[in-house]
A = this chain, B = another copy of it.
């Protein structure tokens, strides 16, 4: 990585991953699960930025209930975080990022925050190169998102409409518009048009840029976060935000609170093997399939099966002649659904 200011990774570990039920649960969300490799998504994310020059130790923001899981998972991979910040309740990403920005700005308002998102990134070198591209723009006050080149007409993601390239910043483009999840005809248009990228949920910006913008756009968020830090209780391992103050913050995403309204939004288009592992189908996509396109994990006996994701962390699973199914078995529950319905697992969990 080229010279420049040190970047602090801010890992927001607050998701629920309900579409990965039954493995992912409220008490054990997907980011803590070794879904795609021997390491959890949290561990993979931390390692992605920890083992390169130019990165400071990460700040992790998580729910208070998950503190030991986070601490243990980082300990296992020999990462000593700058802080593990504990949220008493989830308030989406904008307040969590504000907390990290406030912590960093105290010593260095120009400090850069990288929100790497706890997703799969197959091409780590490409990822680091993209951050390198983004770095000087972020230092200059831009708020950088990373736009993933679409591989299909996905209707489950938000899109970023790419505008013109910044004058002095090769590879960094003005954001013309953030678009919500499109319908399938619109998604097809985006795919063929070539001007829309998937919103990956990864960001790079300076602490003071983010704080200025959120102060202007969401004063209630920043006020709550300031108070939550002032009244926070710290010990050797954790920083516990003040429950009352933090709970008073509006719950908004970084996109919704800031990015969609600021004129500083810029995008670095990337092709880095990004996958949000949002559903079992995504795990089938990235898994090592056999000759018949089955991705199998655990004690599975399969015969004449094709195109299926079969996983067990409990009972023996015998699959005979199934096609394009997802089957996930645990000791206390079993999920079965066609691969193209795996997006709807949330509906089952809600029941």
Contacts and interface: CB of A to CB of B under 8 A. Distances in A.
Interface of A: 21-22, 301, 303-304, 312, 314-323, 325, 327, 329-338, 341, 344-345, 347-348, 351
A318 B334 contact: yes
A27 to B, nearest CB: 16
Contact of A322 (B332, B338, B344): B338
A337 B345 CA distance: 20
A315 B330 contact: yes
Contacts of A319: 335-337
A150 B171 CA distance: 73
Most buried by B among A318, A325, A330, A338: A318
Nearest to A300: B334
A153 to B, nearest CB: 21
A336 B351 contact: no
A336 B317 contact: yes
28 contacts: A301-B348, A301-B351, A303-B347, A312-B334, A315-B315, A315-B330, A315-B332, A315-B333, A315-B334, A316-B333, A317-B333, A317-B334, A317-B336, A318-B333, A318-B334, A319-B336, A319-B337, A320-B345, A320-B348, A321-B338, A321-B341, A321-B344, A322-B336, A322-B337, A325-B325, A329-B329, A329-B334, A331-B331
Given A320-B336, A321-B344, 9 more contacts: A315-B330, A315-B332, A316-B334, A320-B344, A320-B345, A322-B338, A325-B336, A327-B336, A336-B336
A323 to B, nearest CB: 8
Contacts of A332: 315-316
Contacts of A345: 318, 320
B335 A318 contact: yes
A341 B320 contact: yes
A331 B344 contact: no
A348 B338 CA distance: 22
Nearest to A330: B315
A331 B316 CA distance: 9
